[in-house]
Amino acid sequence: MVDIPDSRGTSTSSILTADKRTKKRNAAEKRFRFYGLAAICIGLSALVMLLASILYQGIPAFTQTKVTLEVPLSADVLDPEGNRDPEDIAKVITFGYAGLIEEAVENAIEEYGIEIEGLDDPAAIVSKQASAQVRNWVLKNPEAVGGTQQFSFYTTSRIDQYYKGKVTMASAELDSQISIEQIQLAEALEEAGALERGFNWDFIFAPDASDQRPEAAGLGVAIIGSAYMMLIVLCLALPIGVAASIYLEEFAPTNRLTDIIEVNISNLAAVPSIVFGILGLAIFINFAGLPQSAPIVGGLVLTLMTLPTIIISTRAALKSVPPSIRDAALGVGASKMQSVFHHVLPLAGPGILTGTIIGLAQALGETAPLLLIGMVAFVTEYPDAPPDGFFDPATALPVQVFNWTQRADPAFAERASGAIIVLLVFLAIMNITAILLRRRFERRW
Amino acid sequence: MKDTRHEQRDTTMNDVKISASGVQVYYGDNHAIKDVDVEIKDKTVTAFIGPSGCGKSTFLRCLNRMNDTIDVARIEGDIRIDGEDIYDPNVDPVQLRAKVGMVFQKPNPFPKSIYDNVAYGPKIHGLARNKAELDEIVEKSLRRAAIWNEVKDRLQAAGTGLSGGQQQRLCIARAVATNPEVLLMDEPCSALDPIATSQVEELIDELRTNYSVVIVTHSMQQAARVSQKTAFFHLGNLVEYGDTDQIFTNPRDKRTESYITGRIG
Ligand SMILES: Nc1ncnc2c1ncn2[C@@H]1O[C@H](COP(=O)(O)OP(=O)(O)OP(=O)(O)O)[C@@H](O)[C@H]1O
Ligand SMILES: [Mg+2]
């Protein structure tokens, strides 16, 4: 017998004390764990910083300062003919209502006994949106002309920002759009109970507004546009993607052609999204003549983009079904179709759904191709209900974010962050759905 | 315990059920089955024995065209069931497989309920006209596979939740539920305990009254107990084929003798 030299370093190997080699291995393991932990910490802190900054900037977008005023709907201004004919009332343009708002503000100052020295243009604290708001209401209720009506108006973004701490007396002094006296007026109105800050549903549901009225801008059209596009992507990409994957994975013969197709699908997944935008512009708008800025074009482009993702994840899901299940089905005399649809597809279902939802989430956040097909347009009218609405102009959530960051007024920056929060909430909902579906349907075999 | 060596019935009278001649199977460049000729009799149990990797499973899978699903597999030669060429272009493998059932080496129940596992075959072949008939087929099949008593109270439980041996018997029940004429069994007892094994062996013997059974096994004793004919494969060749008694008591080939006495394999 050969004596094997004791490699453990000690002649009597006790398991109570770790030997040299074991110590070394343990140290290596510890170090590796530390590296891993450090990497996770870096990642997490980056995520926390990102979320914190977005939340800090974006949360205020969900509240808005509003002022409640009694507006005298004087018949002289609104119905010069005096016959209460809606058509005649409609002839008075929005500009004509500005005087009424001024009057309303002055009445309020008087009523609450507010005295501010050097107060100039007190109506400037009310949003320019107010005239349009009153006009729309009057057109709907022509019989009210002649009386007074209580309205709740947005304040201008400067007053709103003052309450959110972003405009100060010092900055107001240098600002041409707001004066210290106007801020004092707002505070006085607040004391009188006519001005308050509250949750602003209009931020979520109202359409976009022009540069001069950031306080009125909302995400309504963008959300509808995104929803329409997701609907189109889901209805096109899911069936096409799943059918293509089933064919490639279960039926296609292995030959050069299928190899080439496979490689190209993987390549497509790596194509930058802006390329799909150019393709969409060339094919769907220039060649097929579909309208610009329409969800149908956006949806088609995003479908092209999402297809590779869905195909790849569906094929992975199909591949992960053990071949023994197919054998079992074929063994009892099922046809290929039956084995796929009765056994393989149900097992691959959760994987397919997860892939689809992740693909949709990707499409929801996609901006670049939509810019190219004109979805960055300024749209203040809601699109119709589908299917007609698919051809109406709309924007999309990420594009709205991009759009708002381009605008001059700082109030839009806040809204851009608010829009990001809405987008993130949608993405989170989709991802959580994916996880829940997977948990719910996952089966072991 | 009951003697599991069943009395040998006369097999020479039986007709040929499957006849194979000149069968070659290639997996790409790997020549897995080399020029095999064999005649499998009706109402007979035929055992395939041989060392691991010699091609028993491969040849078995040729008999119901399960090798069609393997892209690299290429089959040459002539295999006939009741005189009909199963590789004829007019043959629908789906119909063939309903006739030639199979139990696989690894238990592979569907991830569905026990009931659905057994009922699936009869359902797709339209063997039951109503729920009552289907219930009957399921019960009969589970009884024949010697598993009824263990599962009768939980037919709606998942088939994958059974133990390995129970799963294999469930697969046997699934295979007999479609009433095949030939049953191919690839090491059906490799995951079973001795009691379940003897139950399955009894089942095999019972099946013999109506069907032709081909069984791959690594257990000499099992081959000796259940089969009337034995084929010994070695390195892709069919070395010897004959009555089980003769193979085990008086093998003609040296390789057969070494294998059954435990020297190769
Ligand atoms: N799907 C396949 N692809 C490629 N080669 C295969 C495949 N299946 C089997 N082979 C090869 O064919 C030969 C015979 O395999 P087979 O499975 O028939 O052996 P076996 O006799 O059943 O062995 P065991 O007793 O271990 O089950 C082996 O060399 C194996 O490598
Ligand atoms: Mg085998």
In this prediction, residue A116 carries a pLDDT of: 83
Residues A161 and A285 in one domain: no
pLDDT band of residue B2 (cuts 50, 70, 90) is very low
Residues A291 and A438 in one domain: yes
Give the largest CA-CA distance in chain B: 56
Q: Tally A–B CB contacts below 8 A.
A: 70
The type of residue at B169 is R
CA of B50, closest atom in ligand 1 = 21
Q: Is A283 part of any domain?
A: yes
DSSP B158: B
Probe target for ligand 1 pocket from B30, B104, B218, B222, with the most ligand atoms within 8 Å of CB = B30
Torsion of CA B107, B113, B117, B120, to 10 degrees: -150
Domain-terminating residue out of A169, A200, A231: A200
**Beta bridge mates, A197:** A65
CA distance B219 to B56: 14
Report the number of distinct structural domains present in chain B.
1
Non-local (6+) Cβ contacts of A377 within 8 A are A292, A293, A393, A395
Domain hosting A137: range is 62-200
pLDDT band of residue A238 (cuts 50, 70, 90) is very high
Indicate which residue's Cα is closest to atom 31 of ligand 1. Answer: B53
CA of B218, closest atom in ligand 1 = 25
Residues A185 and A232 in one domain: no
* Radius of gyration of chain A, Cα coordinates, nearest whole angstrom: 32
Residues A397 and A315 in one domain: yes
Residue B46 has pLDDT above 50, yes or no: yes
Probe target for ligand 1 pocket from B27, B67, B102, B220, with the most ligand atoms within 8 Å of CB = B27
Q: Is A17 part of any domain?
A: no
Cβ pair A333:B109 closer than 8 A: no
Indicate which residue's Cα is closest to atom 10 of ligand 1. Answer: B27
Q: Is A46 part of any domain?
A: no
Report the number of distinct structural domains present in chain A.
2
Cβ pair B101:A338 closer than 8 A: no
Task: For residue A331, give the nearest of B97, B111, B125 by CB distance.
Answer: B97
Task: For residue B69, give the nearest of A330, A443, A445 by CB distance.
Answer: A330
**Quick one: which H or E segment has residue B223?**
helix B220-226
Tokens 């005239």 label which residue? A131
pLDDT in tens, B148-181: 998 989 999 988 888 888 898 899 999 999 989 9
CA distance B76 to B67: 12
Tokens 């997490």 label which residue? A44
Interval B13-32 mean pLDDT: 88
CATH, residue A279: 1.10.3720.10
Min distance A240 CA to chain B CA atoms (Å): 25
Q: Is B206 part of any domain?
A: yes
pLDDT band of residue A445 (cuts 50, 70, 90) is very low
Q: What angle do the packed helices A295-319 and A345-364 form, to 10 degrees?
A: 140
Indicate which residue's Cα is closest to atom 6 of ligand 1. Answer: B27
CA distance B200 to B168: 10
Highest mean pLDDT among A38-47, A253-262, B106-115, B204-213: A38-47
Highest mean pLDDT among A17-21, A437-441, B72-76: B72-76
In this prediction, residue B223 carries a pLDDT of: 92
Retrieve residue A401's tokens.
């974010």
Which 3 state secondary structure label does DSSP give B72?
coil
The type of residue at B34 is K
Q: Is B134 part of any domain?
A: yes
Cβ pair B101:A347 closer than 8 A: no
Substitution target in A325, A332, A442 with the highest count of B β-carbons within 10 Å is: A332
Mean pLDDT check: name the lowest of A120-124, A365-369, A438-442.
A438-442
In this prediction, residue B11 carries a pLDDT of: 45
Which of these, B185, B249, B245, B241, lies nearest to B41 by C-alpha position?
Answer: B241
**Beta bridge mates, B212:** B182
Residue A241 has pLDDT above 70, yes or no: yes
Neighbours of B237 (CB within 10 A): 16
pLDDT band of residue B206 (cuts 50, 70, 90) is confident
In this prediction, residue A422 carries a pLDDT of: 93
CA distance B115 to B233: 37
CB B181 within 8 A of CB B99: yes
Complex ipTM value: 0.85
In this prediction, residue A146 carries a pLDDT of: 80
pLDDT band of residue B9 (cuts 50, 70, 90) is very low
Cβ pair A322:B108 closer than 8 A: yes
Residues A149 and A228 in one domain: no
- CA terminus-to-terminus distance, chain A: 50
Torsion of CA A242, A248, A250, A253, to 10 degrees: 160
Query: A175-180, long-range: CB within 8 Å, 24+ apart, which pairs?
Result: A177/A124, A178/A124, A179/A120
Sign of CA dihedral B241, B242, B244, B249: negative
CA A343–ligand 2 middle distance (angstroms): 24
**Beta bridge mates, A67:** A153, A195
Interval A186-194 mean pLDDT: 86
In this prediction, residue A1 carries a pLDDT of: 47
Give B178's contacts in chain A (Cβ within 8 Å). 332-333
Mean pLDDT check: name the lowest of A6-20, A165-179, A275-289, B39-53.
A6-20
In this prediction, residue A14 carries a pLDDT of: 80
CA of B58, closest atom in ligand 1 = 18
Residues A180 and A252 in one domain: no
Residue B12 has pLDDT above 70, yes or no: no
CA distance B116 to B132: 14
Residues A304 and A362 in one domain: yes
In this prediction, residue B121 carries a pLDDT of: 92
Q: Is A154 part of any domain?
A: yes
Cis link prior to A387 (omega < 30° from 0)?
yes
CA distance B177 to B134: 10
CA distance B21 to B19: 7
In this prediction, residue B5 carries a pLDDT of: 45
Domain-terminating residue out of A134, A167, A200: A200
pLDDT band of residue B13 (cuts 50, 70, 90) is low
CATH, residue B252: 3.40.50.300
Residues A125 and A244 in one domain: no
Residues in B whose CB is inside 8 Å of some CB of A read 64, 66, 69, 71, 94-95, 97-98, 101-104, 106, 108-111, 120-121, 124-125, 160, 171, 174-175, 177-178
pLDDT band of residue B14 (cuts 50, 70, 90) is low
Three-point CA angle B184, B186, B188, nearest 5°: 105
Q: Is B204 part of any domain?
A: yes
Which of these, A181, A199, A78, lies nearest to A139 by C-alpha position?
Answer: A78
Residues in A whose CB is inside 8 Å of some CB of B read 253-254, 322-335, 338, 342-343, 347, 443-445
pLDDT in tens, A277-295: 998 899 988 898 888 888 8
Q: Is A380 part of any domain?
A: yes
Residues A419 and A342 in one domain: yes
Residue B27 has pLDDT above 80, yes or no: yes
Residue A220 has pLDDT above 50, yes or no: yes
**Quick one: which H or E segment has residue B37?**
strand B30-41
CA B99–ligand 2 middle distance (angstroms): 21
Cβ pair B69:A326 closer than 8 A: yes
Domain hosting B41: range is 5-260
Q: Is B265 part of any domain?
A: no
Residue A177 has pLDDT above 50, yes or no: yes
Retrieve residue B149's tokens.
């008593």
Cβ pair B108:A332 closer than 8 A: no
Substitution target in B67, B110, B117, B182 with the highest count of A β-carbons within 10 Å is: B110
Ligand 1 pocket, CB under 6 A:
B 27, 30, 32, 50, 52-58, 70, 72, 105
pLDDT in tens, A411-428: 888 899 999 999 999 999
pLDDT band of residue B118 (cuts 50, 70, 90) is very high
In this prediction, residue A12 carries a pLDDT of: 66
Average pLDDT, chain A: 86
In this prediction, residue A302 carries a pLDDT of: 93
Residues A295 and A229 in one domain: yes
Residue A82 has pLDDT above 80, yes or no: no
Min distance B234 CA to chain A CA atoms (Å): 26
CA distance B93 to B67: 11
**Beta bridge mates, A199:** A63
Residues A163 and A294 in one domain: no
CB B113 within 8 A of CB B120: no
Q: Is B226 part of any domain?
A: yes
Neighbours of A338 (CB within 10 A): 16
Residues A228 and A286 in one domain: yes
What phi and psi, each to the nearest 5 degrees, are found at residue A115?
-125, 115
Among the bound ligands, name the one nearest to the CA of residue B55: 1
Q: Is A274 part of any domain?
A: yes
In this prediction, residue A4 carries a pLDDT of: 55
